Amino acid sequence: MEKQFIPVNIALLTISDTRTIENDTSGKVLRERVLAAEHQLAAQQIVSDDIYQIRAIVSQWIADPDIQTIITTGGTGFTGRDGTPEAINVLLDKEMMGFGELFRQISYQDIRTSTIQSRAVGGVANGTFIFCLPGSSGACKTAWDDILKEQLDIRHRPCNFVELMPRLLEK
């Protein structure tokens, strides 16, 4: 018997010194996909490439029991201002090693060796799933369409993140 779909409350954070609501194409791509998949958009913000501002927002969302998943876009490269992994990794209770690996494997099909310039990461903090994606809309499409859409759907077999959500805070 197929399980009934359970919408996930998802917060989106664009990390950029230059993006605004008007030109945030990656945030728009993610918002459209989250809503098309019938999940709930719990929050959406833009923050500058500053590890402490990033941590402040993400920490608030991690502490919010109504937010189950956080997806960030931007700040995963190698420039001096790219600090998303450094901002997020210290907040994680558990790192999801396979997320970044799988993202880069899938991305290789489209952008070849340029995928090594992505430091996409995933993990769990206080029972909240967190995924940090590159800032390009193409990368956001790849991550959502090829990984997150299925893993955030309880009907996906053999397993998915939604089944784990009630158990993440077990001791």
Q: What CATH number has the domain bearing residue 63?
A: 3.40.980.10
Return left, alpha or beta for 74; rule: phi > 0 is left, psi -120 to 50 is alpha, else beta.
Answer: left
**158: preceding bond cis by omega (within 30 degrees):** yes
Residue 170: is its pLDDT beyond 90? no
pTM of the predicted model, to two decimals?
0.95
Q: Is residue 80 one of the residues assigned to a domain?
A: yes
Q: Is the pLDDT of residue 167 over 90?
A: no
pLDDT at 71: 98
More reliable by pLDDT, 59 or 166: 59
Residue 171 lies inside a defined structural domain of this protein: no
φ/ψ of 53, rounded to 5, equals -70, -40
Residue at 2 is within a domain: no
Residue 170 falls inside a structural domain: no
Note whether residue 16 is domain-resident.
yes
- Is 113 within a domain? yes
Task: Note down the domain range covering 33.
Answer: 9-165
State the pLDDT at residue 166. 79
pLDDT for position 171 = 59
What 3-state class would DSSP assign to 141? helix
Bridge partners, residue 44, by sequence = 12
Q: What is the pLDDT of residue 162?
A: 95
* Backbone φ, ψ for residue 47 (5° rounding): -135, 150
Average pLDDT over residues 68-78: 94
The tally of domains found in the chain comes to: 1
The residue written with tokens 């998915």 in the block is 160
39 occurs within a structural domain: yes
pLDDT band at residue 163 under the 50/70/90 scheme: very high
Task: Determine, yes or no, domain membership for 99.
Answer: yes
pLDDT computed for residue 47 by the predictor: 97
